[in-house]
Amino acid sequence: MAELSKGVARGGEFELVQADLVLSTGRVVGLKASIINLTLFEDIFQYTLTGQIVIQDAMSLASTGPIIGQEYLKLKLKTPTVGEPDRIIDYSENAFMVTSLDLREPTSGGSQVSILSFCSREFAMNQRSVVNRTLTGSYSDIVERMLRKDLDSHKTFYKEPSAESKKIIAPNIDPFSVISIAESRALSKKHSDPTYLFFENLRGFNFRTLGHLYSRTPMLNYSQYPAGQKTNRKGSIDIMKNIQNLEEYTISSSPDTIYNHSAGVYASHMIVHDIFSKSYENYTYNYIDNFFNERHVDSFGSKPIFPLANVLPINPAGDDIADHPAKQYLQPTTGKSFDNSVQDNSSQTPFTPHNPQKSMQIRNAHMQMMNTALQVNIDVLGTTVIAAGDIVECNIPFSGTYTTTQNEVFDRLYKGRFLIKAIRHDFNPAENQHTMSMNLCKDNFLEPLEAPEENYEPKSKRSKGTVTETWDDIGF
């Protein structure tokens, strides 16, 4: 990342190369001098990008244009000195679609401020498309077909190949619904990982598993630097320390035991019923037993990892927190090796069936864990070199009135590798300032927790009894 600091005067600088609004009438209006603020949102749990742009509308463009929600916004931004195509926010060809004019507010001097919402063109394409045909191939190939043909997208597509040949009969559903089916059922070809996500970040569209995202090298290392440490020996600004400095942070989430029980994060039980053989099988998922067979944020780091729960027994029987499968599933299937419900043109059954026992419980546990994992929201100076789905290092300072015997510098839990779940980019052209608000998460500890053998859930030894009460309908 050393090239990031060359030729940059300060952290958060950006270059607005292009900002053009293409009206429904065909007229092109340059907005570079009119933008007050530009916001972009990317999220690994959202299929496309969205955003808002605030402009100083001196010529009443909203009325004279007019702006009616059928416009296109061509954008191109970059961090100075970064010239790689995938490090530039370039929507000059694959333009955003303006969906609505949210606000028109008059200001002094006869001008007005207008706020426009926009999204990726593929989102609008999805809303007006219907898929009504049979789709065959691997789930990753089906997703690519949806993206290229039905959504007519020419953007870069990062695809992790999935296993097995499948057949989907799409009954008048939109392309994103087909993608959702593939996303929830696909297993990666190399690792049999069921945690696929389909999302768009600033580099393009992605169909990747969490394991694939976790395996990548951290892009930046965020920490909190005192003011005196953000300059180098010559007294000039240390650009890398400024970019990687935590301006603000908030611990936003930690494991929620009640949610994790009810959502099946800790444990679940599933009955799979084969509707052809009229048989069924039982499957039980245990988070703690499966932990080291699955991939987590720090699985590819240099330190040992541990479950995001204490493995101590919670009762004299020796049960731990994952020994009670409160979440129940009942799923049908149409065969073990071949899908008996569909045939090819030769009346053969070459397609593999939906095998929920291979994916559903593991996938659900990981997806739900993302809601209650260790999460931190950070505000930092912006750069175009990172995107949602990247891995970063982040070390939250230790905070406490009293020091410990270990003299920790960083928080015991919120340190090390994190996955970027979401980013809000804010661009202020007047101040030439790009800032980012990021939601980071991780699903493992880096240190084991003490697990005393007889630290059971506390309860009274004797029952307090039952009080039975009745009441009379006096006066009726």
pLDDT digits (tens, 9 = 90+) for 306-330: 999 999 999 999 999 999 999 999 9
User: Global pTM?
Assistant: 0.91
- pLDDT attached to residue 233: 63
Q: Are 394 and 220 contacting, i.e. CB atoms less than 8 angstroms apart?
A: no
Residues with Cβ within 8 Å of 102's Cβ and at least 6 positions away in sequence, in order, are 52, 115, 116, 117
How far from the centroid of its chain's Cα atoms is residue 143's Cα?
Answer: 18
Residues with Cβ within 8 Å of 463's Cβ and at least 6 positions away in sequence, in order, are none
Q: Burial of 297 by CB count in 10 Å (0-12 exposed, 13-18 middle, 19+ buried)?
A: buried
Q: What angle do CA 82, 242, 248 make, to 5 degrees?
A: 120
Phi then psi for residue 257, to 5 deg, are -60, -45
In tens, the pLDDT along 125-144 reads 999 999 999 999 999 999 99
d(CA 243, CA 109): 38
pLDDT for residue 1 is more than 80: no
Quote the tokens at residue 286. 């245990």
d(CA 46, CA 123): 10
Phi then psi for residue 228, to 5 deg, are -70, -15
Give the sign of the dihedral formed by CA 409, CA 297, CA 156, CA 367: negative
Residues with Cβ within 8 Å of 289's Cβ and at least 6 positions away in sequence, in order, are 322
Quote the tokens at residue 96. 């955003």
Q: Where does the pLDDT of residue 379 fall: very low under 50, low under 70, confident under 90, or very high at 90 and above?
A: very high
DSSP state letter for 315: S
In tens, the pLDDT along 215-256 reads 999 999 999 987 655 566 666 678 888 899 999 999 988 889
Query: 72-78 and 89-106: which strand pairing?
Result: antiparallel
Tokens 């060809």 locate to: 93
- pLDDT attached to residue 5: 55
In tens, the pLDDT along 432-468 reads 999 999 999 999 999 999 988 888 988 888 888 999 9
pLDDT for residue 3 is more than 60: no
d(CA 165, CA 136): 7
d(CA 392, CA 440): 9
CA atoms within 13 A on the CB side of 115: 7
- pLDDT attached to residue 6: 57
d(CA 414, CA 250): 11
- What average pLDDT does range 57-77 have in this prediction? 91
d(CA 422, CA 253): 14
Q: Are 199 and 222 contacting, i.e. CB atoms less than 8 angstroms apart?
A: no
